[in-house]
Amino acid sequence: MSGIKKIVILGPESTGKSTLCAALAAHFNTLWVKEYAREYLLQHGMAYTYDDLLTIARGQLAGEDAAIATLAGHDPAQRLLFIDTDMYVMKVWCEFVFGDCHHFILNQVAGRQYDLYLLCATDLPWVKDELREYPDPETREKLYHMYKDLLINQATPWAEIRGDAHERLQTAIAAVDALPA
């Protein structure tokens, strides 16, 4: 769509996804899509249901589609879009918490195309906030490997993001710069 390159940042909670998205958008002078789940859960609370995850997925996609529409009118040099989480995140969340995933989410996973995934590793310290659920290293690693397994088994290029904030940003910039024009 309109030659916009879409780069998704994913990984377990507290792995620097939002920070990395903001930094990449600033570096490349473009937009980024915030994780809709944070907004939704801050408004509705943490007692979410399986059906709430479908609502969150739809909200995430609406934000992504709005950003794509905004960028479609910009200078082609600014046609990069950084997306903080996608339907892979929703799939993992649904399956991890509820043991099942909405068909709508699975259809979006199959139908939406992206240009690059950046998988944030769990090597940053977990930081508590009102929305985070999994402070234990074992659960964080299990979730990380669920994301990694998804990325290994699909065709879109991806890069693992590790290290401190500076190292993460440099690795991510290099991966974006390596995308074909």
- For the chain, which residues make up each domain, given as ranges? 5-177
Cα 39 to the center of its chain, rounded Å: 15
Q: What is the pLDDT of residues 17-66, one digit of tens each?
A: 999 999 999 999 999 999 999 999 999 999 999 999 999 999 999 999 99
Q: What is the pTM of this model?
A: 0.94
SS3 content of the chain, % helix, strand, coil (to 5): 55, 15, 35
DSSP 14: T
Q: What is the pLDDT of residues 56-105, one digit of tens each?
A: 999 999 999 999 999 987 766 558 999 999 999 999 999 999 999 999 99
Q: Are 56 and 40 in contact (CB under 8 A)?
A: yes
Report the C-alpha gap between 118 and 8 in whole angstroms: 6
Report the C-alpha gap between 165 and 111 in whole angstroms: 32
Tokens encoding 144 = 């990380």
Helix runs in the chain, H state only: 17-27, 36-44, 50-72, 87-98, 103-111, 137-152, 165-177
Homologous superfamily of 5-177: P-loop containing nucleotide triphosphate hydrolases (3.40.50.300)
